[in-house]
Structure 1
Amino acid sequence: MLILFGMSWLVAAAPGVTAQQSRLLTVRQTGVLRVCTTGDYPPYTLRAEDGTYRGVDITLAGDLAAALHVVPQWIPTTWSALMDDFLARCDIAVGGISDTAARRRTADFSIPTSFDGKTPVTRRSDGDAYATVAQINQPHVRVIVNPGGTNEAFARTNFPDAQLTLWPDNLTIYDQLDLNNADVLVTDSVEGRYRQRTHPNLQVLHPNTPFDSAPKAYLLPRDDAMFASVVDLWLETEIRSGRADRLLADWID
């Protein structure tokens, strides 16, 4: 675990930024790391009915807070409101967030925690009927996605001819496949692999060969090299140690 040796060490890690300019100073002074997370994207982030959070990124963000000698404060958000909430209320955002050009217009990202891509989730009884973009992009195919994130963006770009439904609750969206109210959901392969464990009638198709690939990372404040260097150094240690992969395997294997 990263140990902080005082503000002089931190300034040395990012000589272009003064301590007074960095979000790190606020975090240390308040004793709180404010973490935006949707709570609806397992295995990365999952909010329980009692309001507690768990998941791979929840565990790692909690450990990051401990390494900074502060406590995490979980700030609930949605995919549609993620960027606005992050800018207004949070120091960092976690939970299977894809590093995209659109998000980089207003925020920075940490080093990648992993790479993942979009794959179809369907009923097992449908076999491989919706395995390709061409098979899904048909007028009779009912595609369902959660609004505001990269799943919606992917669906609108690649399935313009399909019937598209925006389902507001990502925790119940898979029930719509079970109930035959939709035919296919395209999401990150890791989430699909987790969901087929909780919904045995569903399957994730070709999870090892997704339609695309994108880095998963943590949202960070713009132009704060000091804060970013501390987060990146800590994440690199967790990734190289294999702990991030072990946490993920506990959820999906």
Structure 2
Amino acid sequence: MKTIKTYLLVAVILLTANTLFAQDRLSKIVESGELRVGLTGTQPPFSMKAKNNELIGFDVDLANLLATSMELKLILVELPFAELLPGLANGQVDLVISGMTITPARNLKTAFVGPYLISGKSILTKSKVLANVTNPQDINTNRKVVTLKGSTSQKFAEKHLTDVDLELVDNYDIAIDKIRNDESEIMIADYPTCAYAMLKFPNDELVILDRPMTIEPIGIALPNDDALFVNLVDNYIESLEAAGVLEMMEQKWFENPYWLAQLK
């Protein structure tokens, strides 16, 4: 009986400590006056560098709106895509806004708010024949395929394209250049990224699918131990959606190519 009481006491102490730590997280962010948002800076049109070396993009705008709503100074922390969630887990960033798909595997370890955007897998290629495929198996042959390391595009390729020569890269700029320079035949990426490549390089004969091969929700990743923080961010995102702001941002970054002139 004494042993059982001891175990219960330890469990209560640990639970209380975790709860207090979670409650302290949001208050520490507010006290610091800063919101640290993790992103890659290499996922156009979600985030990318302008000519003045400043970050721009859909996710950058969203991060700015969120920080402004919370009355905090925005600090953008650039990390490779594969290091974003580890950076969230170790406290390097407060949340992640980087074109990240909400998946069951990620949700087991990380809380998500959203989706703030619905995307899907597409391909970028120079082949008009390949651009007419409707099934992943139609391109599952001995071809050179490139995609982003640590992304759902990598998992998609590894699951459906088992017969291809798959190359993983750290950012989509590298992947796009490999298609343009005929070093790879197909790039697997989210539809907006493929569409961006076509807009930026209109003379390179790049083509994409008419419609995505999958439907994927894009969300904001947050620590899974702070319900108050998650609730706060969720309320802000719902408000932006209800006010039509997210729709206007989609038109700005996914439909109107004027911002391409700002890029390096």
Q: Could you state the TM-score of these two structures normalised by the residue count of structure 2?
A: 0.82
Per-residue deviation, 1:50: 5.4
| Larger Cα-atom Rg | 2
Equivalence for 1:202 = 206
Aligned pairs for 1:79-118 (under 5 A) are 79-88=81-90, 89-118=92-121
Per-residue deviation, 1:110: 0.6
Equivalence for 2:54 = 52
1:16-57 CA-partner distances (Å, limit 9, x unpaired): x77971422111100000111011111111134755211111
Does the CA contact (< 8 Å) of 1:117 and 1:212 recur in 2? yes
Aligned amino acid, residue 127 of structure 1: K
Query: Is 2:138 the counterpart of 1:135?
Result: yes
Does the CA contact (< 8 Å) of 1:118 and 1:188 recur in 2? yes
Aligned amino acid, residue 104 of structure 2: A
1:76-96 CA-partner distances (Å, limit 9, x unpaired): 111111211121211110021
Aligned pairs for 1:24-35 (under 5 A) are 24-35=26-37
Give the SS at the match of 1:41.
Answer: coil
Does the CA contact (< 8 Å) of 1:36 and 1:92 recur in 2? yes
Aligned pairs for 1:125-164 (under 5 A) are 126-130=127-131, 131=133, 132-139=135-142, 141-164=143-166
Does the CA contact (< 8 Å) of 2:122 and 2:190 recur in 1? yes
Does the CA contact (< 8 Å) of 2:44 and 2:196 recur in 1? yes
Does the CA contact (< 8 Å) of 2:85 and 2:96 recur in 1? no
Equivalence for 2:70 = 68
Identify the range of structure 1 (163-172 vs 226-235) with the bigger mean alpha-carbon deviation: 163-172
Contiguous gaps of at least 5 residues in structure 1: 1-16
Does the CA contact (< 8 Å) of 2:114 and 2:234 recur in 1? yes
Give the SS at the match of 1:85.
Answer: helix
Does the CA contact (< 8 Å) of 1:43 and 1:248 recur in 2? no
Identify the range of structure 1 (18-27 vs 92-101) with the bigger mean alpha-carbon deviation: 18-27
Contiguous gaps of at least 5 residues in structure 2: 1-18, 256-264
Aligned amino acid, residue 144 of structure 2: R
Q: How many angstroms apart in 1 are the aligned matches of 2:87 and 2:173?
A: 20
Does the CA contact (< 8 Å) of 1:56 and 1:244 recur in 2? no
Does the CA contact (< 8 Å) of 2:43 and 2:171 recur in 1? no
Aligned pairs for 1:214-233 (under 5 A) are 214-233=216-235
Per-residue deviation, 1:111: 2.1
Q: CA RMSD in A?
A: 1.8
Identify the range of structure 1 (55-64 vs 166-175) with the bigger mean alpha-carbon deviation: 166-175
Aligned amino acid, residue 203 of structure 1: V
Q: Percent identity among equivalent residues? A: 25
Does the CA contact (< 8 Å) of 1:19 and 1:25 recur in 2? no
Q: How many angstroms apart in 2 are the aligned matches of 1:105 and 1:51?
A: 36
Aligned amino acid, residue 246 of structure 1: M
Q: How many angstroms apart in 2 are the aligned matches of 1:244 and 1:252?
A: 12
Aligned amino acid, residue 52 of structure 1: E
- Aligned residue pairs total 232
1:155-204 CA-partner distances (Å, limit 9, x unpaired): 11110001111223322311111111111112111221122101222121
